[in-house]
Amino acid sequence: MKYIKVKFDIADGDGVRMEEGMLLQTAKDILCQLAGNIGFDSFEDEGATVTGYVQKQLFDRPELDSILAGFPIVNLNITYEAQDAEDKNWNEAWEENGFEPITVNGKCVIHDTTHTPPHRGNGMEITIDTKQAFGTGGHETTYMIVSELLDSDVKGKRVLDCGCGTGILSILSAKLGAKDVTGYDIDEWSVSNTRHNCGLNGVGNVTVLHGDASVISTLATKFDMILANINRNILLNDMPAFKSAMSDDATLILSGFYEQDADMLINSAERLGLKTVKRETRHQWCMLVFENAGV
């Protein structure tokens, strides 16, 4: 997976690097939030410097420049340098150390291959072997969609998992009785990881495709449930494709964005004829559930 490394320097209006304090911390928080909305997925905090990482195909320099030009805190001077990041496995430490078992709603335990759940046999188990892919259930956005699926009627439905990552949502849907599941991801590592994890969980009715939302137009199937845990801008861009693949009474579940971005996504969805039926927030992250209103 190719990444761009972007080093941001935060200075005051006179170009003097800022000292630690409430204003600097607020500026860094806002910077990370805005950069996250355009595809950045991890950050390193080093005083008045923040280093962000974004997949190469998602890096949009003009959009980043626009964000910095309209930064909501005035009298700040934020500059940056961008370069290709070292081509290595950025999840290497995560993969080696794994993650502690995660229990969702007391109904499902998500664990890796090295950590055994404390109470086996109590509810559903999902094994996730992370290989450079996002989604273990620990992040708020994944947790909320997992919780929503556990409380939904998935049995017999056709499910589309957009940006499948580790495959956790595909696997859960299959274990909850989905008739068939199709997942896709722009990242080859994620496609491979989803297939690998489906094998670990004994799931055989999941088809995984490599590509972006354009693959949806190649599918003859209409889906009863569409799941997308992706950043805000991609959701906005891909929503018409999601809508085109929905059956008459389908449900669309979106996450991967902050609460403050929810209204923008709701407005876009409602223009496409989708009805908002649920809005949930967990630690400033948001999930939205829509139903097809038949337009």
- Say which range, 22-31, 86-95, 156-165, 233-242, has the weakest mean pLDDT: 86-95
Identify whether the C-beta of residue 21 lies closer than 8 Å to the C-beta of residue 28: no
Residue 274 pLDDT > 90, yes or no?
A: yes
Top-ranked range on mean pLDDT: pick from 21-25, 186-190, 247-251, 259-263: 247-251
Percentage of the chain beyond pLDDT 70 is 86
Looking only at the bridges linking them, the beta strands covering 180-185 and 206-210 are parallel
Residue 38 confidence (pLDDT) above 50: yes
Q: Give 73's Cβ-side CA count (13 Å radius).
A: 18
Per-residue pLDDT averaged across 155-163, rounded?
97
pLDDT score at 93? 47
Residues in CB range of 69: below 8 A, 6 or more apart: none
Contact 187, 58 (CB under 8 A): no
Q: Which residue has the higher pLDDT, 135 or 177?
A: 177
Enter the pTM of the model.
0.73
Across the beta sheet with 246-258, the strand order is 206-210, 180-185, 158-162, 223-229, 246-258, 285-292, 274-282
Residue with tokens 């008045």, as numbered in its chain: 48
Q: Work out the pLDDT band at 223, boundaries 50, 70, 90.
A: very high
Give me the pLDDT at residue 92, please: 54
Q: Give the span between the Cα atoms of 164 and 135, in whole angstroms.
A: 8
pLDDT at 97: 56
For residues 43-68, average pLDDT: 88
pLDDT digits (tens, 9 = 90+) for 65-86: 999 999 988 889 999 999 998 7
Please give the Cα distance from 140 to 159 (Å, whole number): 21
The SS3 of residue 153 is coil
